[in-house]
Structure 1
Amino acid sequence: MSKLNVDMKALAQMAALLNEAGLTEIEWEEGDVKVRLGKQAPQMVTAAQVAAPVAAPAAPLPAAASDAAAAGPDMKGTPVTSPMVGTAYLSPEPGAAAFVKVGDTVTVGQTLLIVEAMKTMNPVPSPVAGRVAAILVENEQPVEFEQTLIVIE
Structure 2
Amino acid sequence: MAVAKGLEVDTALVRELAELLDASKLTEIEVKDGDRVIRVVRAGVPVAQSYAPSYAPAPVAAAPAAAAAPAIDDWKTHPGTVKSPIVGTAYLSPEPGAAPYVTEGQTVAAGETLLIIEAMKVMNPISAPRAGVVKKVLIRSEQPVEYDEPLVVIE
Aligned to 1:15: 3
Q: Over residues 58-79 of structure 1, what are the superposed CA-to-partner deviations in whole Å (9 max), with x where a residue is unaligned?
A: 8x79xxxxx7736626985411
Shift in CA distance, 120/102, structure 1 to aligned 2, threshold 3 Å? same
Tell me whether 1:129 sits opposite 2:120 in the alignment.
no
Aligned to 1:141: 143
Structure 2 CA distance, aligned partners of 1:43 and 1:71? 14
Shift in CA distance, 73/105, structure 1 to aligned 2, threshold 3 Å? closer
Contact 2:75–2:81 (8 Å) recurs in 1: no
Q: Aligned Cα RMSD in Å? A: 3.7
- AA aligned opposite 1:150: V
Q: Which has the larger radius of gyration?
A: 1
Structure 2 CA distance, aligned partners of 1:70 and 1:43? 16
- TM-score w.r.t. the length of structure 1 is 0.59
- AA aligned opposite 1:149: L
Aligned to 2:9: 26
Structure 2 CA distance, aligned partners of 1:101 and 1:107? 13
Higher strand residue share: 2
Q: Over residues 88-109 of structure 1, what are the superposed CA-to-partner deviations in whole Å (9 max), with x where a residue is unaligned?
A: 0000000000000000000010
- AA aligned opposite 2:106: D
Alpha-carbon distance, 1:84 to partner: 0.6
Tell me whether 1:79 sits opposite 2:81 in the alignment.
yes
Name the % identity: 46
- 1:80 is paired with a residue whose SS is strand
- TM-score w.r.t. the length of structure 2 is 0.59
Greater RCO structure (CA 8 Å; 6+ sep): 1
- 2:124 is paired with a residue whose SS is strand
